Structure 1
Amino acid sequence: MASNVPIIIKSFFFILILLNIKSFPLAYHIRTVPLILETFKNRNNNNEDRDLFQATESTYSVLFDDLDTNRHMNNSSYNKVLDHARGHFFAASFANYMWNHKLS
């Protein structure tokens, strides 16, 4: 069954989907899994706790669906980025403790 939709229209919709990929259902949760896995992979094996007041740096990219008409970040997008940064800080600060003191 051959499609009669021109390739330019298919390409337009494909690009539109890629630009809004962070807005799809469960995209927030899928982006959180690598953060957790990376944190436990990079934890210290020497039981040395990290200083709680040490700075933690997180870098994120802002896509078109995160911006409003004035090209400022939306309040909802800001909260998502802040939530990821908070999770990164918590996991980086307490990864050794969580790994060594498992719940029984």
Structure 2
Amino acid sequence: MEYVSKKAFVVGVPAALIAITHLKSLPFAYTVRSWLLLKALIKRAKQHDLKPDPLFTVVSQDHRCYLDDIDYNQHMNNSMYNKVLDFSRIHILYTIFPKVMMEPDHHLFGHNGGVVTLFRREIPSLAKYKVQSRIWTWNEKWLFLQHRFVLVDDKNTVACLAVSKIVFKKLSGKTVPPADVLELCGHDITNNKYVEERRSRNWETAQHILSLDKLREDPYAWSNL
């Protein structure tokens, strides 16, 4: 019996340590995390009668770089940034657009159309960091979200900047302009000088991101010639 207990300890402790340090890679971990976040956001939205937060509200989420997040350089793997941003996009949509997300009669859905990430500093293993996100700008088709990954240190070092572009579509596939969606959700953007000034100023930069779509028109063949 004593032998069995020692064997269980030798096997169980390392297994438990691996599980704890790789929590986000366990089966269904991503789904469970998404569900818990959605549950909290839906509860909050209902408590506020689906009234949205102010348009340019910054939402923030706390994270830690666990061992299943890192690559062979011992810092957060590049692919993890976009995975983490999934939770930030959910947070923004249910905070700024609760009526669209929670009233099914609108038949409107926000879809991620692409992400641009700019790395500035590494996020070391086991380091704490937070992801801050907010509405950046929009045009007649695209809504742009602005994100930043901030290390929880003495200097609040910005490790990464990112931009997501969101498109709103009906079930029929018809695109709905972001301005219409914002108005539907209760944001007063018509004749709002501050909102338009901020939107247009940020658009001067954001519009260049759309030029990346020209990659589809590259005339050079994908061969070794």
TM over 0.5: yes
Deviation, 1:11, is 0.9
1:80 aligns with 2:120: no
**Structure 2 partner of 1:36:** 38
Larger CA Rg, structure 1 vs 2: 2
- Counterpart of 1:31, as a letter, is R
Q: Which has the higher contact order (CA 8 A, sep 6+)?
A: 1
Distance in 2, matches of 1:25 and 1:6, equals: 23
Gapped runs of 5+ residues in structure 1?
A: none
Alignment partner of 2:19 out of 17, 20, 31: 17
SS in 1 for 2:63: coil
Deviation, 1:53, is 2.3
Q: Deviation above 6 Å: which 4+ runs of structure 1?
A: none
**Structure 1 partner of 2:51:** 48
Distance in 1, matches of 2:39 and 2:8, equals: 42
TM-score (norm 1): 0.78
User: Are 2:69 and 2:80, in contact at CA under 8 Å, matched by a contact in 1?
Assistant: yes
| Structure with greater proportional helix content | 1
Percent sequence identity over matched residues? Answer: 29
- Counterpart of 1:25, as a letter, is P
SS in 2 for 1:8: helix
Deviation, 1:6, is 4.5
User: Are 2:70 and 2:77, in contact at CA under 8 Å, matched by a contact in 1?
Assistant: yes
What is the number of equivalent residue pairs in this alignment? 102
Distance in 1, matches of 2:101 and 2:16, equals: 42
Distance in 2, matches of 1:64 and 1:34, equals: 22
Distance in 2, matches of 1:72 and 1:88, equals: 25
Cα deviation code 1:21-48 (max 9, x no counterpart) = 2112221111100110100111112x53
Distance in 1, matches of 2:99 and 2:62, equals: 23
Deviation, 1:3, is 4.1
**Structure 1 partner of 2:9:** 7
| Structure with greater proportional strand content | 2
Distance in 1, matches of 2:18 and 2:10, equals: 12
- Counterpart of 1:56, as a letter, is V
TM-score (norm 2): 0.40
Gapped runs of 5+ residues in structure 2?
A: 107-225
